[in-house]
Amino acid sequence: MEVNWGRVAEGTLRSKRFIMAFFPPDFTSRWDSIVDGILESIWMAVTSTVVGIILSIPVGLGAARNLAYKPVYYACRGILAISRTFPEIILAIFFVKLFGFGPFAGFLALSVGTIGFYGKLLAEDIEAMDPVQAEAVKAVGAGWLQWLNYSIQPQVMPRMIGLGIYRLDINFRESSVVGIVGGGGIGATLLTSFDRYEFDSAAAILLIIISIVMVLEYSSGYIRRWVQ
């Protein structure tokens, strides 16, 4: 690895000034655009989590070895593998190119990411479930949908709700970076404040992101305990 130590030394001197520039965080002067960005991030996180989860349910069912036929299984596993490979930000670059700037591109990128994440975990959870209950429900003559609803859904639900909230948390965090490539959200505001060297505003944005994530984290723990 090639490190330009001269540049590092120069940077450490500079970094003192740079870090000082972050303090005190300036919440006021860019407050309107910060609020706009944060709200946009929250909308993106919510919608992409919901859409992603809805889309990932059929894929996840198809990718569970004990439910699906072989060809379906391989097709769904393929979908999951592809949507998991590319980081959201690369997806966002392409969606921005296809659908234009704005939160819609970010929303799509996050949804695709959610499908890969949620579908894979759902499939693994279904594969690990207790087959006895499923057979019992089948034995009383349930149809396929009834079978899903009464034997499989209750078994995977508690974990899945927890994971859904976790994914909401991830999507919110990711929505802060899809803005860097033009996908809307707080990332755009953050990048602008970096580009204008307004580090005090940037510090304010970072603090807000951290505190929202903290709130989400605590509430997700609480909700998960309540569900189980």
Residues in the site for other proteins, rule: CB under 8 A? 1-4, 7-8, 11-12, 14-15, 18, 39-40, 42-44, 46-47, 50, 81, 85-87, 89-90, 93-94, 97-100, 102-104, 107, 150, 173-174, 176-177, 180-181, 184, 190-191, 194, 206, 209-210, 213-214, 217
61: part of which helix (H) or strand (E)?
A: helix 31-62
Q: Distance (Å, rounded) from C-alpha 93 to C-alpha 56?
A: 22
Q: Which of 30, 28, 19 is nearest to 190 (CA)?
A: 30
Nearer to other proteins, 14 or 65 (CB): 14
Smallest distance, other proteins to C-beta of residue 200, A: 14
Nearer to other proteins, 12 or 219 (CB): 12
Smallest distance, other proteins to C-beta of residue 18, A: 6
Q: Distance (Å, rounded) from C-alpha 68 to C-alpha 125?
A: 14
Nearer to other proteins, 102 or 162 (CB): 102
Smallest distance, other proteins to C-beta of residue 219, A: 14
Q: Which of 54, 82, 91, 102 is nearest to 174 (CA)?
A: 91
Smallest distance, other proteins to C-beta of residue 213, A: 4
Nearer to other proteins, 69 or 225 (CB): 225
Nearer to other proteins, 122 or 181 (CB): 181
What is the DSSP secondary structure assignment for residue 180, as one 8-state letter? G
Smallest distance, other proteins to C-beta of residue 129, A: 19
3 state DSSP class of 39: helix
Smallest distance, other proteins to C-beta of residue 42, A: 8
3 state DSSP class of 196: coil
Nearer to other proteins, 98 or 132 (CB): 98
Q: Are 179 and 37 in contact (CB under 8 A)?
A: yes
Q: Distance (Å, rounded) from C-alpha 178 to C-alpha 171?
A: 10
Q: Which two tokens stand for residue 174?
A: 């990711």
Integer CA distances (angstroms), 32 to 72, 141, 167, 185, in order: 49, 59, 27, 13
Q: Distance (Å, rounded) from C-alpha 154 to C-alpha 172?
A: 28
Smallest distance, other proteins to C-beta of residue 8, A: 5
